[in-house]
Structure 1
Amino acid sequence: MHTPLRLLGAAAIATLVVAAGSACSSSSENDSAAVQLPAAPAEQQLAGRCPATVVVQLQWDPETDSGPIFGLLGPGYHVDSDNNKVTGPLVVDGKDTGVKLEIRAGGPAIGFQTVPSQMYVDSSITLGLDHSEDAIAASGKQPITAVTTLLRSSPQMLMWDPTTHPDWHGIADIGKAGAPVVVSQGQLYPEWLVSRGLLNAKQIDASYDNGPSRFVSDPSFAQQGFANSEPYVYEHEVKAWDKPVGYQLLRDVGYEGYARTVNVRTDKLNELRPCLQRLVPMIQRATAQFRTDPSHVNDVVVDVVSKSANLTPYSAALAAYGSKTLIDSGLIGNDTDGVLGSFDEARVQRVIDQFAPILRHGGANVPAGLTAKDLVDKEFLDHTITAG
């Protein structure tokens, strides 16, 4: 769904693709150090309950906003650069659960297809990460069910240059100014901002090209971004900018959609039930561990990206910044029921009620009467797991 490649222009992306095609890394260079792992206790064994390889489809390149998934990836993993994936033992507390975990990059790696569409094209995918509104959009033809979530709130934001716009303190100010708001094609939240009266439809410019050059050369407009990425990247890694940006989270203007929801195909829910009964609490625990100390996950994500010529470089400093921002901004935490990775069904229903008309107006087949229970299933959650 987001960062590093969004910050590259077409020429840079083409260069990466050429480099990927010519890369000749040996298998051993793409492997992490192998370790003989102890077996997880019987109650945490997934063999026979889950697929032999649990496949997780990301929305974008590996980043720490998918961190808890990488927290389940054990040592001895192999990065397959040609196929944009990493595979290793699925571990809990450093112990082998008896199955493998395969994490696949999304975005450019899947031709910018949505996660639900990819899940319905490729039946080997066990879990897919997505947003609430994307699940609503897919509900008519490619329904998915969220069984937990990695983030309680979304890191999506709009950003601007505080020097050019010293009077902008939030998204409402952008709306009052009438300035363009540059977003990538296919984003759903801009129309939501319009429906809430925060922006005017004429302001929306869906021509964002994933590169920083336009903003750097003419910061007269506002631009999409993610709080765990762009503020650091623009200040420290885009040398032509090299200064802070101003921004406001969509969360802070009433956007309630969940981000990084962990989904199964709805038609596979019953088949995967024995697996999910054990796997979902593992994801919850990995989320709690990441929130307490993200350093291990940061290291794994940076290492995985470094071993693939197809993925945009992801620095250790950016990983640390991104994780800290997610944690310090309260984007990871207990839901209203006090459970980490849970859902507030009333909130989900509000998101449906707000986005369904927008999506239907755009031609999406959103079923009449869609409810929160169609999109989320809390039965697999361990209610004793909290953020502390």
Structure 2
Amino acid sequence: MIPGSAHRPSRPFFALAILAVAGAALSGCASGAAPAAPASAIPLADEASILTDVCPAMIVIQATWEPEVDHGPFYGLVGPDAVIDADKKSVTGTLVDGGKSTGVQIEVRSGGSAIGYQPVASQMYTDTSITLGSVPTEDRVAGAASQPTIGVFATRQQSPQMIMWDPETHPDWTSIADIGKTDATVVVPKGGLYAQALVAKGVLKQSQLSDSYDGSPARFVSDPSIAQNGFATSEPYIYEHEISQWDKPVKYQLVKDAGYDVYPDALSIRSADLEKLSPCLTKLVPILQRSALAYLADPAPTNALIVKLVEEYDTGWVYSAGVAEAGAGILKNLHLMAGTDPSVPIGDFAPERAQSSFEQVTALLGASGVTIEPGLKADDIFDSQFIDTSLTGK
């Protein structure tokens, strides 16, 4: 069984009272949404992008969390005939490539509360209608024995996970290593593997860690002496613009820049489905690559859908248009989605980095008591064979 909360990405559920301004912004955005277009009005894509004969009639993608910009490439595949199911927390429509129909449908399902905070890999084995799921590297390693999955598309090259602090309280901190030189408390999610990695590297001390982070801003607001887990694509904007009790900038460093640099997650299939799905993935993965590039070039249309989904799903997850716009900017400006190496195609797994990710995660999970499948290799959890190497982010 794959560990659940120990490796599940943690995202903030902010109280609606605190984020009244954000809620108002969401309502305004939703009221201006255009009605869905009929599928017949969507022009057909070129033959190279037609998926009718090689893919399921409905491609189901299971997200790892609530709708957010980090998942822009696959929300961007949903055509203008999108239908939102607020009860199932899913959106369905024509799967498009550059706005043109590929001949099949796509359903993107929300994660997080919609699946009871279960790991996506577990959900994939419970519900085999799921074609691809967004599975963290840690879960692909930990679940290799009982729920094996293999990543075929890196939605992000780098993780937005970070540790943040108050620059007024700590003007001398410029990095996570600076925090480690003090006795300041660092609040992280329970079971967060990256925190243990930073302890193992000597960047932080075990005595500093408090694994009590629940996504609420209350502790940080009331005690700015602490450092706190977060994501560069959300918390810095939210704390500065949407939490009235804070209403000022925070400083942060990405965890990857402090020494835990692994592929954060990937769209993955059940390993046993690789042969069956190969003809589909040969066409679908390049479509995902083009969707990622299109999102980076113009995130606004997909962001509008993401914000609309959050409003319709009404789970307590709050995500304003401002957060989406800022988050997309961070993904682009910090090269989190496309990466910093122009030789690596978008969505690809670079062999050396895949091996390094595998070794770091395997060592940390093993040290925490997780039994690693004997003989497991990086190639068992990373597969780049479907990547179009001509599609780069530069």
TM-score, with normalisation over the residues of structure 2? 0.89
Which position in structure 2 is the counterpart of 1:182? 187
Match of 1:355 among 348, 361, 365: 361
Tell me, yes or no, if the aligned pair for 2:342 and 2:392 is still in contact at 8 Å.
Answer: no
Q: Which moved more, 1:317-326 or 1:32-41?
A: 32-41
For residue 316 of structure 1, report the CA deviation from its aligned partner: 1.2
5+ residue gaps in structure 2?
Answer: 1-7, 19-32
Match of 1:34 among 30, 34, 38: 38
Which position in structure 1 is the counterpart of 2:28? none
For residue 33 of structure 1, report the CA deviation from its aligned partner: 4.0
For residue 11 of structure 1, report the CA deviation from its aligned partner: 10
Q: Tell me, in whole angstroms, the C-alpha distance in 1 between the residues paired with 2:15 and 2:140.
A: 29
Q: Tell me, in whole angstroms, the C-alpha distance in 2 between the residues paired with 1:186 and 1:107.
A: 17
Match of 2:133 among 110, 116, 128: 128
Q: Secondary structure at the residue paired with 2:154?
A: strand
Tell me, yes or no, if the aligned pair for 2:233 and 2:327 is still in contact at 8 Å.
Answer: yes
Q: Which moved more, 1:144-153 or 1:332-341?
A: 332-341
Q: List, as ranges, runs of 4+ consecutive aligned residues in structure 1 with deviation greater than 6 Å.
A: none
For residue 367 of structure 1, report the CA deviation from its aligned partner: 2.0
Match of 1:268 among 257, 266, 273: 273
Which position in structure 1 is the counterpart of 2:22? none
Which position in structure 2 is the counterpart of 1:161? 166
5+ residue gaps in structure 1?
Answer: 13-28
Q: CA 1:317 to 1:63, structure 2 compared with 1: closer, same or farther past 3 Å?
A: same
Q: Tell me, in whole angstroms, the C-alpha distance in 1 between the residues paired with 2:9 and 2:217.
A: 14
Q: Aligned-residue CA RMSD in angstroms? A: 2.2
Mapping of 1:1-388 within 5 angstroms?
6-8=12-14, 32-34=36-38, 36-310=41-315, 312-333=317-338, 335=341, 337-388=343-394
Tell me, yes or no, if the aligned pair for 1:31 and 1:78 is still in contact at 8 Å.
Answer: no
Q: CA 1:37 to 1:311, structure 2 compared with 1: closer, same or farther past 3 Å?
A: farther
Percentage identity across aligned positions? 44
For residue 170 of structure 1, report the CA deviation from its aligned partner: 0.9
Tell me, yes or no, if the aligned pair for 1:2 and 1:226 is still in contact at 8 Å.
Answer: no
Q: Secondary structure at the residue paired with 1:165?
A: coil
For residue 357 of structure 1, report the CA deviation from its aligned partner: 2.4
Q: Tell me, in whole angstroms, the C-alpha distance in 1 between the residues paired with 2:313 and 2:364.
A: 38
Aligned partner letter, 2:132: L
Tell me, yes or no, if the aligned pair for 2:201 and 2:259 is still in contact at 8 Å.
Answer: no
Q: Tell me, in whole angstroms, the C-alpha distance in 2 between the residues paired with 1:129 and 1:44.
A: 22
For residue 308 of structure 1, report the CA deviation from its aligned partner: 2.3
Aligned partner letter, 1:222: A
Q: Secondary structure at the residue paired with 2:108?
A: strand
Q: Tell me, in whole angstroms, the C-alpha distance in 2 between the residues paired with 1:337 and 1:236.
A: 37
For residue 311 of structure 1, report the CA deviation from its aligned partner: 5.4
Tell me, yes or no, if the aligned pair for 1:30 and 1:307 is still in contact at 8 Å.
Answer: no
Q: Which moved more, 1:306-315 or 1:249-258?
A: 306-315
Q: How many residues align?
A: 372
TM-score, with normalisation over the residues of structure 1? 0.90
Q: Secondary structure at the residue paired with 2:296?
A: helix
User: What whole-Å deviation, never above 9, does each CA across 1:284-318 have from its counterpart, x for those lacking one?
Assistant: 01111112222222222122223222352321111
Q: Secondary structure at the residue paired with 2:181?
A: helix
